[in-house]
C-alpha cells in the first residue's frame, strides 16, 4: 500500500484518472498502455525519514502491438537488521536478522482508440524471516476513459489487492515441550496455527481536467476518492503544471474521513508535492531521461521522500 513511484507520490497517489507508464503499475494498471514504446524506472523511497525504513522499486513497461502493453514491477523493503532474541535469550543472542518483504507483479493493459484503456495485474506478496513467512496472490484491475475536444477530461477507476488470505507458517511456529506420557520422557514438537488475514483491498475513483496553456504547457486539476476495506476512506485534490515535456511541478492535499485527531489518522495525510525534470537522451530523439521527486508530509518523523529515474525509449 506504500507508493514507491515519485511522480504519483508527489500527487499523494490521487492521479487515478491519468497515471501512465510504470507509475500506473501501483495505482491504476490501465495506464500502463499509455506510453509510446518502452519505459524503465528505478525508484528509492525513504519512508518516514529518520526511521531507517527504505523501499527500492523497479518498473518496466513495453508496448506490444499497436494497442497493448506489458508491465513488470518489483518492490522490496529494506527494514535494516534486528537483534535476534529467543525465550532463553530475551536480551539477544548476538546474532542479527533482516526481514524479507517484497511484492512482484506482471500486468497487461490495452488501449482502445485512445479513449478507453483497461488493465489487469497479477502479483505475489511475500513477508518472511528465516524460519517463518506468509505469502499471497492478488489481482489489480483498472479502467481509464479520456474525452473532450483536446482529450482534456479524464476519468479512472482502479481496484487493488483483491486476492487470497495470508497466514504465517514455518519452523518458527513450532515449540518443543515434554511428553504428556508419564512413563516415557521425550520431547514433542507442537506447531501453532496462526490466524489468516486479508490483504488491504482498495477502490479508487478519480477525475481530472487539463487546461492547455499555449501549444505545449498544461495545468491539470485532479480529484480522487479512495475507499479502503480496513481503514478510513480518503479524498483529495491536486494540481500539476507541465512546462512542455521538460519540467513539471505538482502539489496535492489528502483528507481522511472520520479522523478526530492525529493519533487516529493515517501517517501521510495532508500536503504533498513534487517535481520532474526531463531532457532528451540525444538531440532530436524522442528518447528521454527524467528525474522525479515526491514528498509527503507526516506528523511523525520527517516525511516520506521519493526519488526516481525514468528512461523512455
What is the pTM (predicted TM-score) of this model? 0.91
Q: For 68-120, how does the pLDDT look when each residue is reduced to its tens digit (9 = 90+)?
A: 999 999 999 999 899 998 888 899 889 999 999 999 999 999 999 889 999 99
Quick one: which H or E segment has residue 95?
none
Question: Nearest-CA neighbor of 30 among 201, 112, 139, 144?
Answer: 144
185-206: burial string, b at 16+ Cβ within 10 Å, e else: eeeeeeeeeeeeeebebbbbbb
The DSSP secondary structure of 139-180, one letter per residue, reads: EEEEEEEEESTTS-EEEEEEEEEEE--B--BSGGGEEEEE-S
Residues 6+ apart with CB under 8 A from 100: 126, 127, 128, 129, 133
Average pLDDT across each block of 10 residues of the chain; the chain has 313 residues. List them in order. Answer: 95 97 97 95 95 95 94 95 88 91 97 94 95 95 95 96 94 83 79 91 98 93 95 95 96 88 71 96 89 93 95 95
DSSP 196: P
CB–CB of 71/22 below 8 Å?
Answer: yes
Separation CA 248–CA 310 (nearest Å)? 14
CB–CB of 84/92 below 8 Å?
Answer: yes
Per the listing, cell 480496513 goes with 230
Residue 15 pLDDT? 97
* Residue 119: exposure state from Cβ atoms within 10 A (0-12, 13-18, ≥19): buried
Residue 240 pLDDT? 98
Going along the chain from its start, the domains and CATH numbers come out as 6-161+198-255+265-312 (2.40.160.60)
CB–CB of 56/104 below 8 Å?
Answer: no
Residue 185 pLDDT? 77
Residue 178 pLDDT? 82
Residue 260 pLDDT? 65
Residue 192 pLDDT? 85
Residue 263 pLDDT? 59
Residue 158 pLDDT? 98
Quick one: which H or E segment has residue 289?
strand 288-296
Amino acid at each position: 500500500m506504500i507508493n514507491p513511484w515519485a511522480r504519483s507520490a508527489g500527487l499523494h497517489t490521487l492521479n487515478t484518472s491519468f497515471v501512465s507508464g510504470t507509475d500506473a503499475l501501483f495505482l491504476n494498471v490501465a495506464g500502463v498502455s499509455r506510453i509510446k514504446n518502452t519505459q524503465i524506472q528505478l525508484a528509492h523511497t525513504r519512508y518516514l525519514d529518520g526511521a531507517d525504513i527504505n523501499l527500492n522499486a523497479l518498473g518496466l513497461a513495453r508496448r506490444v502491438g499497436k494497442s497493448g502493453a506489458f508491465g513488470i514491477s518489483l518492490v522490496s523493503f529494506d527494514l535494516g537488521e534486528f537483534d535476534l532474541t529467543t525465550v532463553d535469550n530475551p536480551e539477544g543472542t548476538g546474532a542479527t536478522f533482516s526481514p524479507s518483504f517484497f511484492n512482484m507483479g506482471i500486468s497487461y493493459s490495452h488501449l482502445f482508440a485512445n479513449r478507453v484503456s483497461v488493465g489487469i495485474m497479477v502479483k505475489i506478496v511475500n513477508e518472511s524471516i528465516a524460519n517463518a513467512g506468509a505469502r499471497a496472490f492478488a489481482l489489480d484491475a483498472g479502467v481509464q476513459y479520456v474525452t473532450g475536444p483536446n482529450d482534456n477530461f479524464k476519468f479512472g477507476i482502479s481496484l487493488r489487492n483483491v486476492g487470497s488470505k495470508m497466514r504465517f507458517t514455518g519452523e518458527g511456529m513450532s515449540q518443543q515441550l515434554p511428553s504428556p506420557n508419564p512413563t516415557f520422557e521425550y520431547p514433542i514438537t507442537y506447531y501453532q496455527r496462526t490466524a489468516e488475514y486479508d490483504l488491504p483491498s482498495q477502490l479508487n475513483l478519480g477525475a481530472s481536467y487539463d487546461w492547455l496553456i499555449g501549444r505545449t504547457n498544461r495545468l491539470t486539476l485532479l480529484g480522487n476518492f479512495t475507499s479502503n476495506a480496513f481503514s478510513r476512506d480518503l479524498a483529495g485534490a491536486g494540481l500539476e503544471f507541465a512546462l512542455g515535456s521538460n519540467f513539471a511541478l505538482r502539489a496535492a492535499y489528502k483528507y481522511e474521513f472520520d479522523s478526530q485527531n492525529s493519533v487516529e489518522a493515517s501517517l501521510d495525510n495532508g500536503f504533498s508535492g513534487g517535481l520532474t525534470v526531463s531532457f532528451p537522451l540525444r538531440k532530436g530523439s524522442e528518447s528521454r531521461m527524467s528525474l522525479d521527486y515526491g514528498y509527503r508530509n507526516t506528523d511523525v518523523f520527517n516525511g516520506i521522500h521519493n526519488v526516481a529515474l525514468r528512461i523512455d525509449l
